[in-house]
Amino acid sequence: MPDGYPVQNPRAAWRVYEGEVVIVSPEDSTLHTLNPVGTLIWEAADGRTALASIVGRVCEEFDVDRATAARDALAFVEQLCRRGLLTVLDAPPAA
């Protein structure tokens, strides 16, 4: 099970259209459009929600088994980290 707490880059601008998020990269103004599963993960990436919990939400919302959802979610988060849109915290920030 993936661990860590994904958090959006606060410099990224984004909006949701028709259930899919559109994100503008803060560094190079590149446009990214996420599918509904990616949108769920992006919207949940608040730095306080564990990735394992987000995977649980994916399984509830979409017809996918937990092992597949966990593998795909981890790959997706890593991809957004490489693009500078997400970072993954070891623990949620202190209140």
Partner 1 sequence: MDELTVEIGGVRTAFMTVEPAVLDVVAARYDGFLSTAPPDWRITVGLRPEGVVDLEDVVVRSAGGLGRLAVERHDFAAILDVPARTGTLALGAVDHVAVDTFLRVTYSLALLEARALLVHAASLGHGPRSWMFPGRSGSGKTTLTRLSPDATLLSDEISIVRLGDDGAARCYGSPFWGELGEAGRNAAVPLAAVHFLRHAESHAATPLTPRQALQSLLPNVLFFAAEPALVARVLEVAGALVERVPCFALGFRPEASVWETIHGA
In a 10 Å sphere around its CB, with 0-12 CB exposed, 13-18 middle and 19+ buried, how is residue 17 labelled?
Answer: exposed
Which of 68, 66, 18, 21 minimizes the C-alpha distance to 44? 21
Show contacts with partner 1 in window 24-83 (CB under 8 A): 24, 26-29, 31, 33
Q: In this chain, which of 1, 2, 6, 18 binds partner 1, going by CB under 8 A?
A: 18
Q: In this chain, which of 15, 65, 90, 94 binds partner 1, going by CB under 8 A?
A: 15
Footprint on this chain of partner 1 (rule: CB under 8 A): 10-15, 17-18, 20, 22, 24, 26-29, 31, 33
